[in-house]
Chains A and B, each alone.
Chain A
């Protein structure tokens, strides 16, 4: 098992470079920088800022690895409000060779700034900005969520699982769709509630953990015994409810059994989204002179998403084995996980051996 995972890791890392080549736009601007470590790299956080134990921290993690490996110290500007995005990006754009915009909210601001400074490089996480000097990094959250669905489908005893989303929007719906498809693959009965969205709740917020608590209690009382969330800090409420009611929860973005250790007993697994892989790779490419504008999509194959290492603590090995099989099938292209909720109904997973 461990062996397999290690191999998968090695494989996916090896694959990354070729993926980037494939993603790069034909005729896109060549990364002008020489392979040297005296480039400057910066990142602008969204309102969450550093210390959010999530998205921004993860992005910073990748840059810290760059600092370790190449000695490039990143500049970080944190945004207090939306209005800070543009000046922050501008400021770093003036100083640095490559500037990361962390989060889809910065899409519009980055577009303006990148247009203003066509000779500088930019990268944005979770959004697509189609400019010759911008690399857009998005993730196949549906693939990681699919694996969570497999775990949930296998672990549920009531045959009812739930999903809590932050705000009902396409990005979060990718989580929902992948999750529902994963459940459906191993336990079609449990997927019913997800597909008709009866056990799907949206908090309308990424910060209101009380709302998460209420929604989770309602879902658990409704008979669900596993709930997956893609809702930022709202999920903390889910964990609290799970602990009180002794049910299972599944985390998101980072290994939440580690970032929220109080709840590690009720967290089956977490879908991890390797923003750090994105920032690291883009930075490394720049340093090595291979920076290419375009759209980089990080899925299971690229190790951009996956399940948390702590999964083994609460999930039985035989379930993890199934998960790994599905992961392999996705990497092999045998399964194409739907991104949209309406496509889940027509999705059928092929037999996985």
Chain B
């Protein structure tokens, strides 16, 4: 009886968390429809059909588009999870982008080493990405813990350092002569493309899915996760409970960075096979923030929103062919983010007012 109650209340709680993201997605789609009407001069019905058809076909309509959607989902899984771990600890790791880039670099460099059998080389590539990502994130984590500097600003700066450093390496020591890339990595360092060499989807996707489960276990089944979440929810209480805030800030950043770096390494070992000169940020780290926000920083939520964002990204191609500006995709993403952020702010204010009401009673 009591058990039944708790499951139904849990279900209701889950539904409550889901309702806002879903509504914001629907509203975003509607606004997008109006833009299509405006841009294309179509009526509401045809615009809706055109838009949804283009998005559906461009993301799941053909085997090609499903594969490409999965190609986009994979890095977003990593960056989304990386952001989620940081969020859960009350940190804003804007540096996932930079950690992802460092992962790209590490994999592109380690992947060049010749003469290693694949069963060693692939793990080596992935681990090097994780380590460098962890290090890259631990630096701002350390600075926050020890000196109290803001991790947002530091991670943003670290992003730029990562980008310029990696570009330097690509154009300098690791340059493939005459190209704006590093040489292709060894075959032994590549992740298996299980649908054939010409289809870019690869086992990196499964590594990402595995990570969804691992992050869930980490956050909710281990003492590490207990401490991380406690620090995120109420650092004062955590400190009171003998949980070191400093240690956990550094740890959370390192875990977040390791996941991001692993994502970068998977991207090289599975998709790009080389590091290509960056003319700007890859965007996966920043999209990962949105993915984590929309997914409420829950691994399963991250999975779902990574699929949504991946699908939107890969459908941008089809939209262009349907003469809908690809920017509609960004519009949809942006509106979703605005709504989700508004939800957070609303909840935060509500929380504050409730707290006031409780204190003043």
Q: Which of B64, B71, B180, B280 has the most chain A CB within a 10 Å cutoff?
A: B180
By DSSP majority rule, is chain A's interface helix, strand, loop, or mixed?
A: helix
Q: B167–A167 contact, CB under 8 A?
A: yes
Q: A169–B180 contact, CB under 8 A?
A: yes
**Contact bitstring A85-116, B, C-beta under 8 A = 1, else 0:** 01110110011000000001101100010011
Q: Which residues of B contact A116 (CB under 8 A)?
A: 198
Q: Which residues of A contact B318 (CB under 8 A)?
A: 91
CB-based A-B contact count at 8 angstroms: 76
Q: Which of A47, A80, A116, A206 has the most chain B CB within a 10 Å cutoff?
A: A80
- Checking A84, A105, A108 against B317 with a beta-carbon cut-off of 8 angstroms, the contacting residue is A84
Q: Which residues of A contact B175 (CB under 8 A)?
A: 169
Q: Considering the chains assembled together, what is the distance between the CA atoms of A239 and B68 in angstroms?
A: 42
Is B316 an interface position by the 8 A CB rule? Answer: yes
Q: B280–A47 contact, CB under 8 A?
A: yes
- Checking A75, A171, A206 against B279 with a beta-carbon cut-off of 8 angstroms, the contacting residue is A206
Q: Considering the chains assembled together, what is the distance between the CA atoms of A13 and B335 in angstroms?
A: 51
Closest CB-CB distance, A202 to chain B, in whole Å?
10
Q: A169–B171 contact, CB under 8 A?
A: yes
Classify chain A: how many residues form its interface, as a range: 20 to 34
Given A90-B64, A168-B171, A204-B167, CB of A80 within 8 Å of CB of B283: yes
**Contact bitstring B256-276, A, C-beta under 8 A = 1, else 0:** 000000000000000111101
In the complex formed, the residue of A with least CB distance to B330 is A80
Is B200 an interface position by the 8 A CB rule? Answer: yes
Q: A81–B164 contact, CB under 8 A?
A: no
Q: Considering the chains assembled together, what is the distance between the CA atoms of A95 and B62 in angstroms?
A: 14
Q: Number of B residues contacting the other chain (C-beta, 8 Å)?
A: 35
List residues 125-177 of chain B with CB under 8 A from any CB of chain A.
164, 167, 171, 175, 177
Closest CB-CB distance, B59 to chain A, in whole Å?
11
Q: Which of A75, A90, A204 has the most chain B CB within a 10 Å cutoff?
A: A90
Is B181 an interface position by the 8 A CB rule? Answer: yes
Q: Which residues of B contact A95 (CB under 8 A)?
A: 321
- Checking A77, A105, A169 against B321 with a beta-carbon cut-off of 8 angstroms, the contacting residue is A77
Is A34 an interface position by the 8 A CB rule? Answer: no
Q: Which residues of A contact B280 (CB under 8 A)?
A: 47, 207
Q: A104–B179 contact, CB under 8 A?
A: yes
Closest CB-CB distance, B200 to chain A, in whole Å?
6
Closest CB-CB distance, B353 to chain A, in whole Å?
41
List residues 310-349 of chain B with CB under 8 A from any CB of chain A.
313-314, 316-318, 320-321, 326
Q: Which residues of B contact A82 (CB under 8 A)?
A: 272, 276, 282
Given A77-B320, A91-B321, A204-B164, CB of A108 within 8 Å of CB of B283: no
Q: Considering the chains assembled together, what is the distance between the CA atoms of A90 and B201 in angstroms?
A: 14
- Checking A80, A86, A204, A206 against B316 with a beta-carbon cut-off of 8 angstroms, the contacting residue is A80
Q: Considering the chains assembled together, what is the distance between the CA atoms of A82 and B170 in angstroms?
A: 15
Q: Which residues of B contact A170 (CB under 8 A)?
A: 177-178
Q: Which residues of A contact B48 (CB under 8 A)?
A: none
> Interface residues, chain B, CB within 8 Å of chain A?
64, 68, 71-72, 75, 164, 167, 171, 175, 177-181, 184, 198, 200, 271-274, 276-277, 279-280, 282-283, 313-314, 316-318, 320-321, 326
Q: List 7 A-B contacts (CB under 8 A).
A: A47-B279, A78-B320, A91-B318, A95-B321, A108-B273, A169-B277, A204-B164
| Complex A-B, nearest 4 residue pairs according to Cβ-Cβ distance, in ascending order | A116-B198, A87-B68, A170-B178, A77-B320
